[in-house]
């Protein structure tokens, strides 16, 4: 099949979405499909982008065709590229939807594409109801959904949200592994790379730092007497998308300066493995969530997790087997961390991780995607 992926890709630093789209393109190509990614020349206007830069200086992924041509705020651009894709007559367009802001742009392009009477359109909906809601979200989402033929979600919660808007075909399938961050390194090698001492236990909070992700809850949990009295530190790896002082004030007020290690620049793909391999436990203390790619990076590196029971986070983390599920409160998060630290033998949980990760292959994901 001739397939077009419509969504973020290199050189955009789209976080997990750009990385996912590129990995999906490889998986489709491995099955013999012809794949082109249509990405953005302008993804967000600068005043809407909370990070330092939307672009990476990493080399482009080898073997992929990426066209950075879509302007998210220019309606003439939407019509032009919608017509171009319509005339290319791809068999399938796979479009990513993660933010209502993208609804007018993507919805307009897809309406033009449908005019050829040939192309099928499948949307991977990361969010239907966004984490941080704004006026107009519902209207933008409805506008995007209408020209799509079918949907794939990576969270059962998102599938239920989707049913509030449409009765078109929709399937759930778990988020596949992020296995494109390189082979694991030893814990010692990772700690040397990060210049951290080996004698401590390390929790890892990874990814863009936004209020809904609950880093403040984890900092409060780190001050819990059960955790404070031990030898447990926290690695924070990811760029602040908001006011950094909100978090640094907590660190200072709780006296956590020596126990919280901040790596708050954007983490390039080739550096990700060092943070995960240095960590003993990955913690996702989110207040709200749909699914999370962080879980699938943890599975790739076979690292146990603590997740909160919000959205679809707990769907892929069997409690007590590959990690622990907590309420989104400092006390409950601290309890889950303490349960892990008190385990007499982590090898049993590691064995469960190896078994569980087999569910999340790209072959399974692509099969579900094409079947819908």
Domain ranges of the chain: 2-172, 187-359
DSSP 3-state of 324: strand
Q: What backbone phi and psi angles, to 5 degrees, belong to 115?
A: -65, -15
Q: In terms of residues, how long is the chain?
A: 372
Q: Comparing C-alpha atoms, which of 8, 28, 205 is closest to residue 97?
A: 8
**pLDDT digit string, tens, across residues 208-254:** 899 999 999 999 999 999 999 889 999 999 999 888 999 999 999 99
Helical H runs in 270-343? 272-278, 293-300, 330-341
Question: Could you give the CA distance from residue 277 to residue 297 in angstroms, rounded to a whole number?
Answer: 11
2-172 matches 187-359 in fold? yes
DSSP 3-state of 179: coil
pTM above 0.85, yes or no: no
Predicted pLDDT at 325? 97
Task: Give the right CATH number for 2-172 from 1.10.150.130, 3.40.50.20, 3.40.50.11930, 3.40.50.300.
Answer: 3.40.50.11930
**pLDDT digit string, tens, across residues 300-330:** 999 999 999 998 889 889 999 999 999 999 9
Predicted pLDDT at 266? 83
16-30 helix and 362-371 helix, angle to the nearest 10 degrees: 80
Q: Comparing C-alpha atoms, which of 159, 177, 130, 170 is closest to residue 316?
A: 177
Question: Could you give the CA distance from residue 255 to residue 278 in angstroms, rounded to a whole number?
Answer: 23
pLDDT tens per residue across all 372 residues of the chain: 999 999 999 998 656 899 999 999 999 999 999 999 999 999 877 655 555 556 666 788 899 999 999 999 999 999 999 999 999 999 999 999 998 999 999 999 999 999 999 999 999 998 888 766 778 889 999 999 999 999 999 988 899 999 989 999 999 999 999 888 889 999 999 999 999 999 999 999 999 899 999 999 999 999 999 999 889 999 999 999 888 999 999 999 999 999 999 999 888 889 999 999 999 999 999 998 777 789 999 999 999 999 999 988 898 899 999 999 999 999 999 999 999 999 998 899 999 999 999 889 999 999 999 998
Task: Give the right CATH number for 187-359 from 3.40.50.2000, 1.10.510.10, 3.40.50.300, 1.10.390.10.
Answer: 3.40.50.2000
Strand order in the sheet with 34-42: 66-71, 34-42, 2-6, 92-97, 120-125, 150-153, 170-172
């Amino acid at each position: 099949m001739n397939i077009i992926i419509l969504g973020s890709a290199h050189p955009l630093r789209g976080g997990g979405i750009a990385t996912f789209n590129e990995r999906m393109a490889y998986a489709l190509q491995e099955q013999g499909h012809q794949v082109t990614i249509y990405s953005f020349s302008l993804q967000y206007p600068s005043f809407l982008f909370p990070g330092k830069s939307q672009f990476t200086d990493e080399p482009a992924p080898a073997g992929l065709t990426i066209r950075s041509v879509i302007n998210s705020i220019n309606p003439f651009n939407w019509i032009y590229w919608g017509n171009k894709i319509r005339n290319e007559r791809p068999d399938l367009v796979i479009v990513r939807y993660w933010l209502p802001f993208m609804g007018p742009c993507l919805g307009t392009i897809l309406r033009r594409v449908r005019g050829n009477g040939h192309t099928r359109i499948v949307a991977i909906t990361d969010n239907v109801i966004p984490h941080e809601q704004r006026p107009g979200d519902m209207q933008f989402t409805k506008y995007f959904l209408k020209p799509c033929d079918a949907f794939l979600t990576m969270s059962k919660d998102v599938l239920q949200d989707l049913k509030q808007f449409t009765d078109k075909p929709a399937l759930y399938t778990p988020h596949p592994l992020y296995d494109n961050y390189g082979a694991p390194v030893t814990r010692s090698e990772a700690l040397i790379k990060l210049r951290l001492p080996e004698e401590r236990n390390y929790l890892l909070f990874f990814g863009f730092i936004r209020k809904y992700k609950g880093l403040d809850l984890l900092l409060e949990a780190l001050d819990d007497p059960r955790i404070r009295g031990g030898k447990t530190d926290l690695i924070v790896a990811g760029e602040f998308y908001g006011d950094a002082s909100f978090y640094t004030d907590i660190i200072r007020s709780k006296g956590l300066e020596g126990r919280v290690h901040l790596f708050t620049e954007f983490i390039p793909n080739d550096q990700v493995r060092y943070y995960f391999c240095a960590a003993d436990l990955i913690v996702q203390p989110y207040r709200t969530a749909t699914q999370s790619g962080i879980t699938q990076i943890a599975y790739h590196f076979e690292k146990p997790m603590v997740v909160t029971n919000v959205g679809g986070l707990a769907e892929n983390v069997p409690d007590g087997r590959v990690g622990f599920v907590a309420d989104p409160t400092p006390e409950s998060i601290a309890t889950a961390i303490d349960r892990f630290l008190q385990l007499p033998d982590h090898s049993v949980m590691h064995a469960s991780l190896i078994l569980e990760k087999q569910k999340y292959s790209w072959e399974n994901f692509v099969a579900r995607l094409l079947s819908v």
